Amino acid sequence: MADHRLPRHHPLRYPLCKLPFSLLILALITFSISNSSGTVSAFNLSTITFDQGYSPLFSDFNIDRSPDDKSVRLLLNRHSGSGIISSDYYNYGFFSANIKLPSDYTAGVVVAFYTSNVDMYEKNHDELDFEFLGNIKGKPWRFQTNMYGNGSTSRGREERYRLWFDPSKEFHRYSILWTPIKIIFYVDEVPIREVMRNEAMGGDFPSKPMSMYATIWDASTWATNGGKHKADYKYEPFASEFTDLVLEGCTVDPINQLSATNCTDAAAKLEEADYSVITPEQRRAMRWFREKYMYYTYCYDSYRYPVPPPECVIVPSEKELFKESGRLKEAMKMKFGGHRKHRHGRRSSRRQSGVQQAAM
* Paired residues of 56 in beta bridges: 84
Q: Is 127 assigned a catalytic role?
A: yes
Q: How far apart are CA 109 and CA 218, in angstroms?
A: 5
Q: How far apart are CA 73 and CA 215, in angstroms?
A: 10
Contact 83, 57 (CB under 8 A): yes
Question: 3-class DSSP state for residue 354?
Answer: helix
Q: Provide the Cα torsion 5, 9, 15, 19; round to 10°.
A: 180
Catalytic residue among 122, 127, 189, 241: 127
Q: What is the side-by-side order of every strand in the sheet holding 159-161?
A: 54-58, 82-86, 211-218, 109-116, 127-133, 142-148, 159-161, 294-301, 325-327
Query: What is residue 229's DSSP assignment?
Result: S
Q: Is 131 assigned a catalytic role?
A: yes
Contact 85, 57 (CB under 8 A): yes
H helices then E strands: how many in the chain? 7, 16
Catalytic residue among 131, 159, 189, 311: 131
Q: How far apart are CA 342 and CA 322, in angstroms?
A: 13
Q: Would you please indicate which residues are annotated as catalytic (active-site) residues?
A: 127, 131
